[in-house]
Amino acid sequence: MHDSKPVITITYCTLYHWMLRSAWMAQELLSTFGEDLGGVTLVPTRGGIFTIACNGATIWDRKVDGGFPDSKELKKRVRDRLDPARDLGHIDRPSAAEGG
């Protein structure tokens, strides 16, 4: 792991079986951001916790943000933290439902 690259930490509740959801989100982030990340770490815990952080700064908190992010929202939030000018391709285009 390269120290200058950001690390994403996904902390999830094992009691509610959120490991698969967490692993899927990690895969989505690695597929999109690849070598721009220093890594994605999954941290098992209890208590209904589900948070995603970048170098310790919270990007998503299930209790604050209400539920779980979809991949589009998660990628936008990570992009905004890493490189706001980065184009995420189709993710940045409005969908038909959004009037695009």
Residue 42 located in a structural domain: yes
Residue 67 located in a structural domain: yes
Alpha helices in the chain (DSSP H): 19-33, 62-65, 71-82
pTM, two decimals, is 0.88
| Domain CATH number, residue 70 | 3.40.30.10
Residue 56 located in a structural domain: yes
Residue 75 located in a structural domain: yes
Residue 1 located in a structural domain: no
- pLDDT score, position 90: 78
pLDDT, one tens digit for every residue, the chain (100 residues): 456 999 999 999 999 999 999 999 999 999 999 999 999 999 999 999 999 999 999 999 999 999 999 999 999 999 999 999 999 987 777 766 656 5
Number of domains in the chain: 1
Residue 72 located in a structural domain: yes
**Residue 62, domain extent:** 7-98
- pLDDT score, position 92: 77
Q: Which of 45, 33, 37 is nearest to 8 (CA)?
A: 37
